[in-house]
């Protein structure tokens, strides 16, 4: 299985390292042609506005949407990746995004970087709890009918799935627990053989 990691900006190296450690082939995605043959795509944390503009400049936004809509590509977005996948961003109608996930997100919902936090999070399907790292994290304030909430905090959902898309507000790639990435690899493998 080949997993692509969007490598325009942000913490893509950490995602690549964790995914490689789980036995998948990893390809850094910088141009539309890099998407050929990937089973899954990770959109990392970083600066969502910058990432969105760079995706547009390189034509990656349309290429990702085409691969997703025409195939079995699974996508996992963390933090900024969640924002890029969201259909709506609260108070930001002009921000570039893919809009593939039927949610509304609120950026920096937990405050600025100095308010970053860690929490032992109850995640559906995982026992024991997952130690989640939140850095300038968004939160979901609206979910569509096909969106399944896998984890939430008092502010709202922070880990959800819609078909072949997973997103988290937190950064599993910055810790040592690989279970979230394992969930994504299973989703990518399942998506490759059948519709979710």
The whole-angstrom separation of Cα 45 and Cα 96 is 15
Rounded to an integer, what distance in angstroms lies between the CA atom of residue 85 and that of residue 89?
A: 10
Measured CA to CA, the distance from residue 80 to residue 158 in angstroms comes to 12
Cβ-in-10-Å burial (0-12, 13-18, 19+) of 166 comes to buried
What is the domain count for the chain?
A: 1
19 contacts 185 by C-beta, under 8 angstroms: yes
Residues labelled as active-site residues: 79, 171, 173
Average of per-residue pLDDT across 121-150? 96
**Mean confidence (pLDDT) of the chain:** 94
pTM of the entire structure? Answer: 0.95
What sections of 46-160 are H helices per DSSP?
Answer: 48-58, 60-70, 80-85
CATH number at residue 157: 3.40.50.880
> How many Å apart are CA 113 and CA 28, to the nearest integer?
27
Q: Which domain holds residue 34?
A: 2-193
| pLDDT per residue as tens digits for the range 22-58 | 999 999 999 999 999 999 999 999 999 999 999 999 9
Q: Radius of gyration over alpha carbons of the chain, in Å?
A: 15
């Amino acid at each position: 299985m080949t997993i692509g990691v969007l490598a325009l900006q942000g913490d893509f190296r950490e995602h690549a390292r964790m995914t490689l450690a789980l036995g998948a082939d990893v390809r850094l995605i910088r141009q539309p042609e890099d998407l050929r043959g990937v089973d899954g795509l990770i959109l990392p944390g970083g600066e969502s506005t910058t990432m969105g503009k760079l995706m547009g400049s390189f034509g990656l936004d349309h290429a990702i949407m085409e691969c997703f809509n025409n195939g079995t590509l699974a996508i996992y977005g963390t933090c900024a990746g969640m924002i890029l996948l969201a259909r709506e961003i609260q108070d930001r109608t002009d921000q570039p995004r893919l809009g593939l996930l039927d949610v509304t997100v609120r950026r920096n919902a937990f405050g600025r970087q100095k308010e970053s936090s860690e929490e032992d999070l109850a995640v559906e399907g995982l026992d024991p709890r997952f130690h989640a790292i939140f850095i300038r994290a968004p939160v979901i304030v609206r979910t569509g009918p096909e969106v399944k909430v896998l984890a939430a905090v008092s502010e709202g959902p922070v880990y959800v799935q819609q078909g072949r898309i997973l997103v988290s507000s937190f950064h599993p790639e910055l810790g040592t627990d690989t279970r979230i990435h394992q969930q994504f690899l299973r989703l990518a493998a399942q998506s490759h053989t059948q519709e979710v």
